[in-house]
């Protein structure tokens, strides 16, 4: 509170303006739309948030190091499609592997995360060892993954999943979907990694000043590879979760989700200039973003106009973050 008292109105708006405006919109929607703040709608928002939070937590590590990951969206679709091909019912007419029994869902999830992590390792290798900028490396991987996924699935939609898989979205524990509990577990694990491990300290050091970190003995290259591999594994998990919720998947699943995740992280306080960010930052950003999207739907805003609103928010959030960085310089 003392910190807020010392800040001028201008500083408050630069640091929290986007969040304040969104909260006002959410409150207005809650007052004017009787079904917006109902338990059922709030539960649906949390379920939708679950996979988005996993994506944001994965991409947050990349952003904290001063990088980014544009391959996240396509990696999500890839993970969802891999899971879909492994978890179809035996009697489904368009079964991808006609003679193969549906795999155990935990084994399928492990395969999805390992495959995605392998692609993340490649991205991290180019960034760390060949000094290819993260923007270029991840954009290239975005195209590669999309191409591989399209060839693998023949760009055909997948469906007919076993109930054990779709039950992740429909079944509940203590009144909340399993997907929400998965997101909570990932948030706790990510918090532990960020705050209680040497890897987390290395990550923040690289984001602060990679050259100084290397001089201080931080294994910068190895850490970057691990960060991008870990992020990709989390995108695979998010795709797995989305496939369960939708009951199907396609190569287009996840398109553009990386920009929403970056914007959510930035809104919450993860700096695109590197070195700063918390798990709580991603949680706040994703929550505000998901409530905003739902509020726009309840207010009857044109579906295409919603993309314009979200784009403006991304532009403003990142611009304000860069402004804060310049001010500190």
| pLDDT tens per residue, range 89-123 | 998 888 999 889 999 999 999 999 999 999 999 99
Whether the predicted pLDDT of 327 surpasses 60: no
Beta bridge partners of 172: 177
Per-residue pLDDT band at 2 (split at 50, 70, 90): low
pLDDT value of position 146: 96
pLDDT value of position 183: 95
Per-residue pLDDT band at 299 (split at 50, 70, 90): confident
pLDDT value of position 27: 84
Cα separation, 25 vs 44, in Å, equals 19
CA-closest candidate to residue 71, choices 168, 7, 144: 144
pLDDT value of position 5: 55
In our burial notation (b when 16+ CB lie closer than 10 A, e otherwise), range 228-266 reads bbbbbbbbbbbbbbbbbbbebbbbebbeebbbbbbbbbb
Whether the predicted pLDDT of 182 surpasses 80: yes
Whether the predicted pLDDT of 39 surpasses 70: yes
Whether the predicted pLDDT of 17 surpasses 70: no
Per-residue pLDDT band at 316 (split at 50, 70, 90): confident
- Segment holding 172, helix H or strand E: strand 172-173
Cα distances (Å, whole numbers) of residue 26 to 19, 31, 281: 10, 9, 19
**54-63, 116-125, 266-275: lowest mean pLDDT where?**
266-275
192-236, pLDDT tens digit by residue?
A: 999 999 999 999 999 989 999 999 999 999 999 999 999 999 999
pLDDT value of position 28: 84
Residue 124: how many other CB atoms lie within 10 Å: 30
Percent residues over pLDDT 90 in the chain: 56
Whether the predicted pLDDT of 84 surpasses 60: yes
Residue bearing the bigger pLDDT, 280 or 122: 122
Per-residue pLDDT band at 42 (split at 50, 70, 90): confident
Whether the predicted pLDDT of 273 surpasses 80: no
Name 116's Cβ contacts closer than 8 Å, sequence gap at least 6: 75, 78, 79, 232, 233, 235, 236, 239
pLDDT value of position 323: 65
Whether the predicted pLDDT of 325 surpasses 70: no
Alpha-carbon torsion 258, 259, 262, 264, what sign?
negative
């Amino acid at each position: 509170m003392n910190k807020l008292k010392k800040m001028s109105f201008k500083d408050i708006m630069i640091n929290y303006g986007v969040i304040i405006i969104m909260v006002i919109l959410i409150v207005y929607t809650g007052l004017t739309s009787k079904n917006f703040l109902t338990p059922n709608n709030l539960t649906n928002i949390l379920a939708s948030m679950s996979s988005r939070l996993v994506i944001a937590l994965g991409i947050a590590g990349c952003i904290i190091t001063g990088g980014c990951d544009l391959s996240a969206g396509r990696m999500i679709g890839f993970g969802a499609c891999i899971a879909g091909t492994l978890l179809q019912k035996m009697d489904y007419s368009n079964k991808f592997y006609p003679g193969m029994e549906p795999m155990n869902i935990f084994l399928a999830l492990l395969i999805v995360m390992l495959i995605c992590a392998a692609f993340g390792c490649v991205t991290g290798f180019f960034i760390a060892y060949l000094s290819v900028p993260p923007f270029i490396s991840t954009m290239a991987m975005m195209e590669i993954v999309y191409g591989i996924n399209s060839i693998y699935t023949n760009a055909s939609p997948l469906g007919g999943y076993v109930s054990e898989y779709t039950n992740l979205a429909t079944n509940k524990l203590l009144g909340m979907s399993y997907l929400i509990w998965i997101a909570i577990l990932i948030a706790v694990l990510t918090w532990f990694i960020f705050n209680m491990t040497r890897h987390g300290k290395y990550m923040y050091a690289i984001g602060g000043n990679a050259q100084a970190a290397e001089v201080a003995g931080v294994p910068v290259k190895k850490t970057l590879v691990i960060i991008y591999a870990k992020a990709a594994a989390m995108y695979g998990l998010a795709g797995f979760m989305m496939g369960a919720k939708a009951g199907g998947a396609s190569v287009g699943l996840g398109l553009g989700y990386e920009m929403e995740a970056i914007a959510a992280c930035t809104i919450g306080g993860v700096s695109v200039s590197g070195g700063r960010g918390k798990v709580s930052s991603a949680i706040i950003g994703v929550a505000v973003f998901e409530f905003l999207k739902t509020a726009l739907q309840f207010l009857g805003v044109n579906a295409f106009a919603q993309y314009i609103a979200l784009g403006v928010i991304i532009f403003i959030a990142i611009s304000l973050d860069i402004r804060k960085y310049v001010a500190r310089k």
